[in-house]
Chain A
Amino acid sequence: MAKIIGIDLGTTNSCVAVMEGGTPKVIHSAEGRNVIPSVVDPIKNIVGDVAKRQMVINPKSTIFSVKRLMGRKFSDVNVQNDLKWLPYVIKPGKNDMAVVEVEGRQFTPQEISAKVLAKIKADAEKYLGDKVTQAVITVPAYFDDSQRQATKQAGEIAGLVVLRILNEPTAAALAYGLDKKNAHTIAVYDLGGGTFDISVLELGEGVYEVKATNGDTHLGGDDFDKKILDYIADEFKKEHGVDLRKDPQALQRLRDAAEKAKIELSTSLEAEINLPFVTQGKDGPLHLVMKLSRAKLESIVDELIQKTVEPVKKCLSDAKLKASDIDEVVLVGGMTRMPKVVETVQKSFGKEPNRSVNPDEVVAVGAAVQAGVLSGEVKDVVLLDVTPLTLGVETLGSVSTPLITRNTTVPTSKTEVFSTAADNQTSVEINVLQGERPMAADNKSLGRFVLSGIPAAPRGVPQVEVTFDIDASGILSVTAKDKASGKVANIKITGSTGLSKEEVEKMKKEAEEHASEDTEKKEKIEARNHADSLIYTAEKTLKDLGDKVKAEDKKEVEEKVKALKDILESGSTSDLKTKTEELSAVIQKVGAAAYSQNQPSAEQTAEEPQANGQKKDEKKVEEGEVVS
């Protein structure tokens, strides 16, 4: 079965996406772009960027914005308005339907759009390496039957079976998975290249129903670019007395620069516009150098942004809803990247809009999701499971040390090396834990086992390799291996991912609720572990170095060790940290002195920190010790 593609057939640009491995992926055009300009020369049969490049020389045969004519009668008031500004010839065709005339030949808007769709189909086939015959195509929510029918026909002309005509705002909602989140009432704010649409949708029986739409068919990114361009040109004229708009080459550069500045100002607060040798003045070449701040840009385009506020209000009142009734707001269209637009939307609805999906692609992505549902891929695909909760082991101080973090796709395996907590410890107990909390006791214990027969050695020396392995069916095997003796012990836990949904939610919620309290607890235990291991190191160092330590230094170390020992169980985290640092400083001093006296004798202490490239102080705590 071939793939079904999802197509956003836009007024200015079009975009295509497909489901792959359960996630939607945008297919790039042969030109390497994520969108294709909806521009066509039907005579030369060229489409997209290439067609756009000949617009100046062939204005009458380069057709753009044909979506505005789709399924409309020539006498339609909108067509009559568009007629005035579109440079190509529009005539009444069969049944008074609007058609485009190029070099004496008539083309229906369906035929023109079909050429865009055919390119999309070809690009998708090249990407997928397979024939594409089926598609989901999106249309504005306000499209009537005739317009929808025309869009479907365009697909058929291009050789695509259109399985579904999907509303653009619904597609946007699907892209965000809002249907699964059970967002009942949503608003989609779509500010594209040439049009502005606002829609309110309501979820009923698994489908989004359009409650109301509104908008402005002649408001979009192009208007913003023009405002910015005019501002720059006016400023330049004020300074140099030359109107750059009259020089086609300068105008072209200015247009690019205005768009670039607009894009840059979505992320930075100031953009510099540099166009050296932009035109020729009376006394030689002129350069355009200008700084444009975000605040200035916002004041230039504010009027345009404000034009979206009224339609939003009308749309809400038509839907008989208040702004507070809206559960989710979704942003669509490149212009919604502008911070001022986001702010305006937020003000209108009183909530943060969804904008994590690329706004140029979101409609195509949603169409692909719908295509996936139709092909059964979304529902039926063998989705690889993920571990719903973190899996780890209990280490010294009842700390839960994670090995496999939650949302890891299974099958997977992870190995970490641990050590012992006490001198001459010959066995370790592995407590397998599941949960997000930092303390072992707060997580669920899945099982315990003991690895014995570890050769006696000082604490921290034995290396116990613990491996967590989850197979595709969610069965967790935990293996512990002593690297020195080769002794192995293991446990198999079935259904480690088998918590009920409610349980997972509860545990996640608990983790969030207890986050700060848990962190404090964990911090304290870590501080204590840290102090404990430093005491051990200090005593060992004194013993190892013996006479090489000056009497007064030895005394100081002993005093500090005692001070730390006194507060080990009862002291506060900050006290523990302070005293540990004090002891650490003294130990370092002693160590350094010993090194300068006799390097080989300090060999043993020098070895430790290199073990796994961590700092000596941290090593003990980080590696943790499997509780005995």
Chain B
Amino acid sequence: MKQQIDEWKAKYLRALADYQNLERRTHEEWQEKQTRATLAVISKILPILDTIRKAADHLQDPGLNLGTKSFTDVLVDLGVVKLDVIGLTFDPATMECIDVVDGEENKVLDELLPGYIYKGILLRPAKVKVGKTKGG
């Protein structure tokens, strides 16, 4: 009998603990889901911005430049931060190496696609060209 009581008590405490953990995690997950939802939407929009940027670079049209600027301003308002990578040491935590070129060892020499972070979470790594000394 005593053993059974202990067993059920242990089970009850475990269930209670499971519940409390669940509650805490549900709250965290809810917040994380919100962030992830925003991330998902912005990630889908970024390729369009890339294209507009490329078009603006090519056409050099003042109107289009303004349009691009207002687009990036909105991202800044939302808390999306563009990563500055050129000249830095290559860091796979925020960058993805696409090509290796002659140059200073392990330095980011060119940015092919800008990277972004949002609330400390990597939205997209910057796609970069990294230097490597010959024979290195």
The interface residues of chain B lying within 8 Å CB-to-CB of A32 are 36, 39, 121
Residues of A contacting B: mostly: mixed
Shortest B35–chain A CB gap in Å is: 9
- Chain B's closest residue to A51 (CB) is B92
Residues of A within 8 A of B99 (CB): 56, 248-249
Cross-interface CB contact of B21 among A31, A46, A55, A129, cutoff 8 Å? A129
A252–B58 CB distance below 8 A: no
Q: Does A339 belong to the interface (CB within 8 Å)?
A: no
In the assembled complex, B75 has its CB within 8 A of some CB on chain A: no
Write the nearest CB–CB distance from B46 to chain A, whole angstroms. 13
- A307 interfacial contact with B, CB 8 Å: no
Q: A249, B36: Cβ atoms under 8 Å?
A: no
Q: For B98, give its contact among A50, A127, A128, A248 (CB under 8 Å).
A: A248
What separation, in Å, do the CA atoms of A20 and B127 have in the docked complex? 39
Known interface pairs A249-B112, A276-B54, A382-B11. Does A53 touch B36 (Cβ–Cβ under 8 Å)?
Answer: no
Contact B58 A54 (CB under 8 A): no
Chain A 15-58 near chain B by CB (<8 Å), digits 1 or 0: 00000110000000001100000000000001000110111110
A267 to B97, CA, bound (A): 32
Kindly state whether residue A284 has any CB partner on chain B within 8 Å.
yes
Residue of B nearest to A277 (CB): B54
CB of B95 within 8 A of chain A?
Answer: yes
Given A129-B21, A277-B54, A382-B11, A252–B98 Cβ distance below 8 Å? yes
CB distance from B109 to the nearest CB of A (A): 11
The count of residues in chain B whose C-beta lies closer than 8 Å to any C-beta of chain A is: 31
Chain B residues 86-136 with CB under 8 Å of chain A are: 90, 92-93, 95-100, 106, 112-113, 121-122, 125, 127, 130, 132
| Residues on the A chain within 8 Å of B16, using CB | none
Residue in A closest to B112 when the chains form the complex, CB atoms: A249
Which residue of B51, B90, B127 is within 8 Å of A57 (Cβ)? B90
Decide if A104 is an interface residue (CB 8 Å cutoff): no
Contacting residue for B54 out of A55, A128, A285, CB 8 A? A285
Instruction: Give the residue of B58, B98, B122 whose beta carbon is less than 8 angstroms from that of A56.
Output: B98
A128 to B130 Cα, complex, angstroms: 38
Task: Indicate if the CB atoms of A129 and B25 lie closer than 8 Å.
Answer: yes
Give the residues in chain A near B100, CB-CB below 8 Å: 56-57
Which of A31, A57, A276, A285 sits near B97, CB closer than 8 Å? A57
Q: Knowing A21-B18, A129-B25, A249-B112 are in contact, say whether A57-B58 is a contact too (CB < 8 A).
A: no
A53-B95 CB under 8 A given contacts A21-B18, A382-B15: yes
Could you tell me which residues of chain B, from 1 to 41, have a CB within 8 Å of some CB in chain A? 11, 15, 18, 21-22, 24-25, 36, 39
A276:B98 contact, CB within 8 angstroms: no
The docked-state distance in angstroms from the alpha carbon of A20 to that of B24 is 15
Q: With an 8 A cutoff between CB atoms, is B55 at the interface? A: yes
A8 to B11, CA, bound (A): 29
Q: How far is the CA of A53 from the CA of B90 in the complex (A)?
A: 10
Decide if B24 touches A129 in the complex (CB within 8 Å).
yes
Contact indicator per residue, chain B 38-50, by CB within 8 Å of chain A (1) or not (0): 0100000000000
Q: Once the chains are docked, how many angstroms separate the CA of A31 from the CA of B93?
A: 11
Give the distance in Å from the alpha carbon of A302 to the alpha carbon of B51 in the complex.
34
Partner of B51 from the list A127, A276, A284, A382 (CB cut-off 8 Å) is: A276
User: Given that A57-B97, A57-B130, A129-B21 are known contacts, is A50 also in contact with B92, CB under 8 Å in the complex?
Assistant: yes
Q: How far is the CB of A119 from chain B (nearest CB, A)?
A: 14
Shortest CB-to-CB span from B99 to chain A, Å, is 4
B98 touches A54 (CB 8 A): no
CA distance A328 to B84 in the complex (A): 54
Report the Cα distance A32→B132, complex, angstroms: 32
Minimum CB–CB distance for B82 against chain A, Å: 18
Give the most central of A53, A54, A252: most B CB within 10 Å.
A53
A413 to B58 Cα, complex, angstroms: 66
| Separation of A46 and B92 alpha carbons in the complex (Å) | 9
In the complex, which residues 159-173 of chain A have their Cβ closer than 8 Å to any Cβ of chain B? none
What residues of chain A lie closer than 8 Å to B22, measured between beta carbons?
Answer: 21
A276 touches B55 (CB 8 A): yes
Q: How far is the CB of B4 from chain A (nearest CB, A)?
A: 14
What residues of A have a CB within 8 angstroms of the CB of B24 in the complex? 129
A284 to B125 alpha-carbon distance, docked (Å): 28
Contact (Cβ within 8 A) B51 A249:
no
A105-142 CB mask vs B (1 if < 8 Å, else 0) is 00000000000000000000001110000000000000
Bound CA span A31–B58, Å:
35
Q: Given A46-B92, A276-B54, answer yes or no on A249-B127 (Cβ-Cβ < 8 Å).
A: yes
- Shortest Cβ distance from A256 into B: residue: B47
Q: Which residues of B contact A382 (CB under 8 A)?
A: 11, 15
Give the complex CA separation of A284 and B25 in angstroms. Answer: 53
> Is the beta-carbon distance between A54 and B54 smaller than 8 angstroms?
no
**A129 contacts which chain B residues (CB < 8 A)?**
21, 24-25
Restricting to A569-588, which residues have a CB under 8 Å from any CB of B? none
The chain B residue sitting closest to A21, CB to CB, is B18
> Taking CB as reference atom, which chain B residue is nearest A44?
B92
Residues of B within 8 A of A50 (CB): 92-93
Across the interface, which residues of B come within 8 angstroms of A20, CB to CB?
Answer: 18
In the bound complex, CA of A127 to CA of B39 (Å) = 20
A252, B128: Cα distance in complex, Å: 11
For B90, give its contact among A54, A128, A285 (CB under 8 Å).
A54
B92 x A56 contact (CB < 8 A): no
Please determine whether A56 and B127 come into contact, CB atoms closer than 8 angstroms.
no
Residue of A51, A57, A252 touching B132 (CB-CB under 8 A): A57
Mask, A257-278, CB within 8 Å of B = 1, is 0000000000000000000110
Alpha-carbon gap, A31 to B92, bound state (A):
13
**Chain B residues whose C-beta falls within 8 Å of the C-beta of A248 in the assembled complex:** 98-99
A495 to B18 Cα, complex, angstroms: 29
Taken together as a complex, chains A and B put the C-alpha atoms of A53 and B99 apart, in Å, by 11
Does B36 contact A285, Cβ atoms closer than 8 Å? no
Contact B58 A53 (CB under 8 A): no
Measured between beta carbons, the chain B residues less than 8 angstroms from A276 are 51, 54-55
Chain A residue nearest in CB terms to B21: A129
Across the interface, which residues of B come within 8 angstroms of A55, CB to CB?
Answer: 97
Give B83 Cβ to nearest chain A Cβ, in Å. 13
Give 15 new A-B contacts, CB below 8 A, not counting A53-B95, A53-B125, A54-B90. Answer: A21-B22, A54-B92, A54-B96, A56-B98, A57-B90, A57-B106, A128-B21, A249-B99, A249-B127, A252-B112, A276-B54, A277-B51, A277-B55, A284-B58, A285-B54
Interface of A with B (CB < 8 Å)?
20-21, 31-32, 46, 50-51, 53-57, 127-129, 248-249, 252, 276-277, 284-285, 382
| Nearest 4 interchain pairs by C-beta | A277-B54, A248-B99, A53-B96, A54-B92
Could you show 14 A-B contacts with beta carbons less than 8 Å apart? A50-B92, A50-B93, A53-B92, A53-B125, A54-B90, A56-B98, A56-B130, A57-B97, A57-B132, A129-B24, A248-B99, A249-B112, A277-B58, A285-B54
